[in-house]
């Protein structure tokens, strides 16, 4: 994947405004609520039965931060996302058995959360750049599935 200087600058300036803990919690919470079949992977997380249970779940909070931490790492290695996430991809494929379709769903909820936090700053051009990043992220995480 080739990134233009403008795309890189857009990602860097938007990402600098992202609170990883807060956005991570909201994105994972939204995933579990909007796509409830994803809850089956988080059997050890306790009560996920209602919106308020998900919102108040400390494990969702901690895990959302971890997921955003991995995305943050990818954003800091835009020219090398596949290698950066290679071990994580293998782990999701071989140990966690996560259906890679779910990576796209997480990408979707992340876009929605960013749009709701950033409001008018999340312009169509910004969205287009982030959609490209999500494609790269999903491809990298799906790469270890063979």
Binding site for ligand HEM (CB under 6 A): 38, 41-42, 44, 63, 66-67, 70-71, 88, 92, 96, 98, 102-103, 106, 141
Compare residues 98 and 119 and give the one whose CB is closer to ligand HEM: 98
Compare residues 75 and 119 and give the one whose CB is closer to ligand HEM: 75
Compare residues 108 and 121 and give the one whose CB is closer to ligand HEM: 108
Please state the closest distance from residue 136 (CB atom) to ligand HEM, in A.
11
What does the DSSP assignment read for the chain?
----HHHHHHHHHHHTT--HHHHHHHHHHHHHHHSGGGGGGGGGG---SSHHHHHT-HHHHHHHHHHHHHHHHHHTTGGGHHHHTHHHHHHHHHTS---THHHHHHHHHHHHHHHHHHGGGS-HHHHHHHHHHHHHHHHHHHTT--
């Amino acid at each position: 994947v080739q990134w233009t200087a403008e795309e890189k600058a857009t990602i860097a300036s938007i990402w600098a405004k992202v609170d990883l803990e807060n956005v991570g919690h909201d994105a994972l919470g939204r995933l579990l609520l909007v796509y409830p079949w994803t809850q089956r992977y988080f059997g050890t997380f306790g009560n996920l039965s209602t919106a308020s249970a998900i919102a108040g779940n400390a494990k969702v909070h901690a895990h959302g931060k971890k997921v955003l931490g991995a995305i943050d790492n990818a954003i800091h290695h835009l020219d090398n996302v596949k290698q950066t996430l290679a071990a994580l991809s293998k782990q999701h494929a071989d140990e966690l058995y996560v259906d890679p379709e779910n990576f796209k769903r997480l990408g979707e909820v992340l876009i929605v959360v960013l749009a709701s936090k950033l409001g008018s700053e999340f312009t169509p051009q910004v969205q287009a750049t982030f959609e490209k990043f999500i494609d790269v992220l999903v491809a990298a995480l799906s790469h270890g599935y063979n």
